[in-house]
Amino acid sequence: MAERKKFELYPGITISCVLVLCTSALAFALSAASEIKPILPIPVAEKYITQLLTRPQHHFQESQLEHPQQITQIYHRMKNQTLWFDNFDLTPAGQSLVQALKENAVDQPENYPYHVDHILYRLQSMQTHPKEVTHLDVLLTDAFLSYANDALSGALIPNQNEPDHPAIIKTAASHQEYLDYASPAPPEAISLLDGELPRDQLQSLIEQVLTPQHSGYLKLRDALDYYLKLAQSEYSWTPFSEESELKMGDHHPEVIQLRTRLALLGDLFNHSFQMIPAHNFLELAARDFNTPLNFPGNELQPHQDYFDANLVEALKQFQRRHGLHPNGILDENTRAQLNITPDQRIHQIAVNMKRWRYLPETLGARYIMANIADYTLQVVDDGKTTLEMDIIVGRASRRTPILVQNMRTLVLNPTWTIPPRIARTSVLPRAKKNPKYLAKRGIEIVRGTGPERKVIDPKSIDWKHIDLEHFPYRLEQKPGRGNALGEVKFPLNNDFAIYLHDTSQPKLFERSMRALSSGCVRVSKPRELTAELLKDNPGWDMKRIARAHRNKRTMYLGLKQETPVYLMYWTAWVDDHGMIQFRDDIYHRDTKADHSATISML
């Protein structure tokens, strides 16, 4: 009996164990089954791709192919196998291509033949059916050909058709292991996919040749990802009202909205309402927007309609990031920036990403980077900023162009040859009214050059009958305190007569809006910039520079080290602290940055 009872005590336990084991085994089997990836057999892929390319107009009615003949050739070389998929999963090259298509077409997707909306929709809804994956693979190949052709031909660079822009500077395809870029015309993009370029190099081609490698571009990509997520959230970007200013100590319902807005933009921690010292967009992009107000830790504490000190500091940070006076007050200019929607910022970021395509792969060991839209200039040496200063740029009617040039010389105590347009519109009409006007400003009327140079006496000119539109002489301003170029000129070789120089009106640097010149760039620290550029020239220190200025003699000095100068137009960038910066589009270039018509070379 004892043995029997012992046996009877265990049946339930034994059955339970069996059930547990069976359940575990079943769960493991189901898990293993769920991890089994479907396979796209080679003959099946070949069958469907052959069908698609036999009648492409029929199979691609929703999004017509741009390069059907070239695609047929490509897949023939590939024996009609998928190029961007490994079975039913995107390859790393496919993932890189989708990323590149999204970020380059996001500002104006309707203007780019990249099938972006169609591709993204099919990726989200794709099922494991051979017809779907092969259809999508062909679309990606067509999009790649269009994108590669645009990237290599310079068609992605914005504002190309503006009259103050230089010829396109092509730098993206300097990787000779991929492309032969000796010809001034871009190579046919189809050559990128033929036998000369193995399939395993497609990812490197997309990420390293067709995509700028500058850290500024890659940082903006992170910012773009965050703003895309913000735009797709359920948060309503309600504009702030145009009521009176809000400041520290105020109680107002819009203070709650201000807290929310600054939290979403990264200037205020969400739940504790503490300042974020610097943006990190990789972390920001990981936010969960699914809480009621689309950001975590949204629980409102008592008195959150109160404008406190933390909110003041957060608002100051926001103002600094937007080039505003950091007064911590919700004023008219600050409201205008807060009301700009994520979709508008997405366009702005995307256009500025494309501007990086102006630049060469390597900026140089030492270079000058001027931001026209921010009115600032930096000298960078060995990756470190060694000098920063404010600048004055061209006014809207005489815009400073985007330029990429090398500086080889500088001129101490320069003369100023007054441009004919300025002479006709500003100087000569005054000289006609007042014969002493020119002498008072140190301006001479000159004919000829070199040994033939002759100064003309203003009294010998019949000002009453002279045709100012066809004035036969040139005007030169002598060196001195009143010279418009100041103490130093930094020449650049270009067709626009654009260069950097000092100014006789330093008070203008006190203004916040400094689009004031006739196109040239005036620098606020001319002597410091001179010393920085001459530091490799033996014997040229600040004392010698000061002595040279005092003697008023014009001196031309060659730089020991040529220095690249980049006059760029950044209205969006990520600074050295990881913070996204935005500036006003003073020349309206962002709004006019339409994708130019792409001329197919295939």
Name the nearest CA neighbour of 589 among 321, 401, 357, 333.
Answer: 401
Helix residue spans in 55-129 (DSSP H): 56-59, 68-77, 92-105, 116-125
- Give the full edge-to-edge strand order of the sheet including 416-417: 416-417, 474-477, 443-447, 454-456
Instruction: Let me know if 211 is exposed, middle or buried by CB neighbors in 10 A (0-12, 13-18, 19+).
Output: buried
**Neighbouring C-beta atoms of residue 70, cutoff 10 Å:** 20
Task: Examine the residue annotation and report whether 347 is marked as an active-site residue of this protein.
Answer: no
Q: Kindly name the residue from 67, 279, 322, 501 that is annotated as catalytic.
A: 501
Q: What is the dihedral of CA 573, 113, 61, 65, to 10 degrees?
A: -130
Contacts of 503-508 spanning 24+ positions with Cβ under 8 A: 503/392, 508/392
For residue 274 the two structure tokens come to: 């503490």
Name the nearest CA neighbour of 477 among 501, 442, 447.
Answer: 442
Residue 250: CB partners within 8 Å, gap ≥ 6?
306, 307
Name the nearest CA neighbour of 501 among 518, 586, 421.
Answer: 518
Contacts of 416-425 spanning 24+ positions with Cβ under 8 A: 416/476, 416/477, 416/483, 416/484, 416/485, 417/474, 417/475, 417/476, 418/443, 418/474, 418/475, 418/476, 418/477, 419/497, 419/518, 420/471, 420/474, 422/518, 423/471, 423/474, 423/475, 424/468, 424/469, 424/471
Return phi, psi of residue 515, to 5°.
-90, 85
Task: Examine the residue annotation and report whether 175 is marked as an active-site residue of this protein.
Answer: no
Collapsing DSSP to helix, strand or coil, 184 comes out as coil
**Neighbouring C-beta atoms of residue 453, cutoff 10 Å:** 11
Name the nearest CA neighbour of 392 among 505, 557, 539, 244.
Answer: 505
Cα separation, 11 vs 559, in Å, equals 95
Q: Kindly name the residue from 520, 577, 588, 595 that is annotated as catalytic.
A: 520
Cα separation, 227 vs 264, in Å, equals 10
Cα separation, 98 vs 90, in Å, equals 9
Query: Please, are residues 593 and 354 in contact by the beta-carbon 8 Å criterion?
Result: yes
Q: Is 193 left (phi over 0), alpha (psi -120 to 50) or beta?
A: alpha
CA 517 → CA 36, 505, 514, 521, 523, distances in Å?
67, 11, 8, 7, 11
Cα separation, 408 vs 560, in Å, equals 8
What DSSP element (H or E) covers 475? strand 474-477
Query: Please, are residues 578 and 280 in contact by the beta-carbon 8 Å criterion?
Result: yes
Inter-helix orientation angle 92-105/342-355, to 10°: 110
Give bridge partners of residue 407 from the DSSP assignment: 563
Q: Which residues are catalytic?
A: 501, 520
